[in-house]
Structure formats: C-alpha cells, structure tokens
Amino acid sequence: MDLSVREVELNDAEAIVSILNPIIEAGVYTVFDTPFTVEAEREYILHFPARGVFHVAICGYEQKIVGFQSMEPFATYTHAFDHVGVLGTYVALSHRRQKVATSLFNATFEVARHRGYEKLFTFIRADNMAALATYLNQGFYIIGTAKRQAKINRTYIDEIIIERFL
C-alpha cells in the first residue's frame, strides 16, 4: 500500500473520528467507551501540546486518512518526565495489517527524538493481542499489567503496560 505520513491538521478531525468511533463501537480494541464528535476532536487538535507529536497516515491511492498516532508528554506538572511520551495508535478497521501502524511509528519515533523524548510509554488492553504484537514488533516491551484497570459495561479489563526507549 502506498502510504504517506504527515502532521495532523485541524480539518482532519472528521476523518479521525470516522476511524476512531468504529473502533470504540467494536468494544474490543480500546478502553474508550464513548464516541467522539468532530467538534471535540477539533478542540483536541487545536489544543494539542506543542511538544506532542500527532501524525496521520494517508493511503495514496484512496487519498484518505487510514490511521493516526498521537504522542503527548507523560506529565506537565514537573520537568522530571520531560523525556517521556504517552502514545496512542489507531488504524481504520478496514486497513489493519497493511503496515499503516509501522509507517506511523517510524515518523513518530523520528520526530519524538528531535523533540527531546527518550522513552515512549502506553497501555494496551490485555485482550487486544494484535495491538500488543504490533507494539512489540516496534521494540516495545512489557513492564507489567495493571489489573482491573478499566471497567466497561460492568466488566473489568486489564491493561498491559509497555515502554520503548528511543
């Protein structure tokens, strides 16, 4: 697949929501449990941290956004964590296993290094083995499990904590 990756733009909000909401509605890939509005996504993009990294992947032949990845500072209440970013990766259900995430990771790792990040950190639903495999293939490793970390529809979900040094 012919992919390009670029920084997010405000007018990408609708495409991002069209990727994210079906993932949320599937109920098995993320701990997000409430669909997003285009307006809320525009606000998120508009107020995204200056040191953050927010990329979209565009399928060349379709000329549409098929995935996105955002990385924000781990914490802003102290400079002790300035070298740590928190990462989220989302690929359209119709474009999974087509190297979209790999393209996003490559772009994000490069920009993150230039912005002073040394380590990336995230949580993966323990029942989302495909996402875990994707992150492990990108050099992340498991550092623990947060038991009963999320509760969706009265069901507890563990999350696997992973990290990667840049």
Instruction: Give the pLDDT of residue 1.
Output: 65
pTM comes to 0.93
Q: What is the pLDDT along the chain (166 residues), one digit of tens a residue?
A: 689 999 999 999 999 999 999 999 988 888 898 999 999 999 999 999 999 999 999 998 778 999 999 999 999 899 999 999 999 999 998 888 878 999 999 999 999 999 999 999 999 999 999 999 999 999 999 999 999 999 988 999 999 999 999 9
Instruction: Give the pLDDT of residue 67.
Output: 96
Provide the residue range defining the domain that includes 33. Answer: 3-122
CATH number of the domain that residue 73 is part of: 3.40.630.30
Q: Is residue 130 part of a domain?
A: no
Q: Is residue 46 part of a domain?
A: yes
How many structural domains are present in the chain? 1
Q: Is residue 20 part of a domain?
A: yes
Please spell the DSSP secondary structure of 30-95, one letter per residue: -S--SPPPHHHHHHHHHT--TT-EEEEEEETTTTEEEEEEEEEES-SS-GGGTTEEEEEEEE-GGG
Q: Is residue 149 part of a domain?
A: no
CA distances for 159 relative to 51, 97, 131, 146, angstroms: 26, 22, 12, 5
